[in-house]
Amino acid sequence: MEHVQWGVLSTADIAQTQLIPAVNRASNAKMTAIASASGKAEEAAKRLGIPKFYNSYEELLRDPDIDAVYIPLPNHLHMEWAIKAMEHGKHVLCEKPMTLNAEEAKAIEAAVKKNGVKFMEAFMYQFHPQHQRVRDIIASGEIGEVKMMKASFSFFLEQRETNIRMNKDMGGGSIYDVGCYCLHAIRNVLSTEPLHIEAKKQLDPVSGVDLSAEGFVTLENGVQAVFDCSMDMFSRQEYEIIGTKGRILVPRPFRPDLFGGEGLVIVQKDKQERVERIHGDIYLLEVEHFSQAVLDDTEPAYALESSINNMRAIDMCYESNFQNV
């Protein structure tokens, strides 16, 4: 097998605009089939040049030609369809957050072990080389001892009446949608796990979902972290690491693809500032990495255990005793 043959469950926008084009750019992957439960698969397949289409997810999973599936379904359906896909022997790339809580994530872990397949949560941003550069700068001691990390991700959600992000039963809310990136970045860049999180949520009075949230994170390595996320603010994405001798600012951490794939790493110290420009195609890097893990029968660099730990961090946010306002 020289290429992984991919199928997609649903015609979600992220699949059509990001993941499917990335598979088409990949050297080790081919987009073979798309399925939709709403009758949209045929039109999408013709428009996107996908050879096969199915009008149910089950039909696609029964296709013996499909090696791996991408799941961009609403959050509350991730566990169900990831497990069903694995029971059909398919490798799974599942959109973030992988589930609604850590307990569901453990069920996915059990299915991975039972069926002998690969699973990876689709935090595509982490494959951009700017984050490894940040870790290298920290390790070099250039900014001294790390004392704090701050991460932010927000956007203003339009047409809220029809958006699934406003449906609590479907896994709506800002923490699930964009706060998960902030938590992941804190864990990923600092290579540590949260001991405790206090999170304050601003709830929508009608739907009950968290429109915005701020969290205060105590980490195992003693560093303090702060994050904020929102579906009710101007679009922004950034993180910074503050040390005893300087700081690192990353102003395009989560969606560098919006800037042609260019990430920025800004180092400030001794009244001087250095800007490093680093390029990467995050969706292509994600697809090629997971596809190669399938071809080589190796474990993805982003381990399932780390995904479960990110769900535990999300659980801490939603279980926080910091009273909602």
CATH of the domain at 87: 3.40.50.720
Range of the domain at 96: 4-122+284-299
Whether 142 and 268 map to the same domain: the answer is: yes
Whether 116 and 216 map to the same domain: the answer is: no
Whether 241 and 166 map to the same domain: the answer is: yes
DSSP string for residues in 175-206: IIIIIHHHHHHHHHHHT--EEEEEEEEEE-TT
- 272-279: strand order across its sheet: 194-203, 210-219, 224-230, 146-156, 232-243, 247-250, 262-269, 272-279
β-pair partners for 81: none
Residue 318 is assigned to a structural domain of this protein: no
Whether 167 and 202 map to the same domain: the answer is: yes
Per-residue pLDDT band at 323 (split at 50, 70, 90): low
Residue 309 is assigned to a structural domain of this protein: no
How many domains is the chain built from? Answer: 2
**Which contiguous run of DSSP H or E holds residue 103?**
helix 102-115
Whether 70 and 144 map to the same domain: the answer is: no
Cα(155)–Cα(277) distance, integer angstroms: 24
Whether 71 and 190 map to the same domain: the answer is: no
Residue 320 is assigned to a structural domain of this protein: no
Whether 199 and 246 map to the same domain: the answer is: yes
Residue 46 is assigned to a structural domain of this protein: yes
What pLDDT, on a 0 to 100 scale, did the predictor assign at position 321? 75
Note the pLDDT tens digit of each residue in 124-156. Answer: 999 999 999 999 999 999 999 999 999 999 999
Q: Is the pLDDT of residue 325 over 60?
A: no
Cα(186)–Cα(208) distance, integer angstroms: 27
Residue 307 is assigned to a structural domain of this protein: no
Whether 84 and 132 map to the same domain: the answer is: no
Whether 139 and 269 map to the same domain: the answer is: yes
Note the pLDDT tens digit of each residue in 68-116. Answer: 999 999 999 999 999 999 999 999 999 999 999 999 999 999 999 999 9
Q: Is the pLDDT of residue 4 over 80?
A: yes
Please say whether the beta carbons of 213 and 179 come within 8 A.
yes
Residue 160 is assigned to a structural domain of this protein: yes
Is the pTM of the predicted complex or chain greater than 0.85? Answer: yes
Per the annotation, the verdict on 96 as an active-site residue is: yes
The residue from 52, 84, 90, 96 that is catalytic is 96
How much is the mean pLDDT over the chain? 97
Residue 314 is assigned to a structural domain of this protein: no
Whether 58 and 152 map to the same domain: the answer is: no
Q: Cis peptide before 21, with omega less than 30 degrees from 0?
A: no
Residue given tokens 């996915």 in the structure block: 108
Note the pLDDT tens digit of each residue in 9-23. Answer: 999 999 999 999 999
State the CATH number of the domain containing residue 168: 3.30.360.10
Residue 323 is assigned to a structural domain of this protein: no
What pLDDT, on a 0 to 100 scale, did the predictor assign at position 313? 98
Whether 211 and 74 map to the same domain: the answer is: no
Whether 100 and 133 map to the same domain: the answer is: no
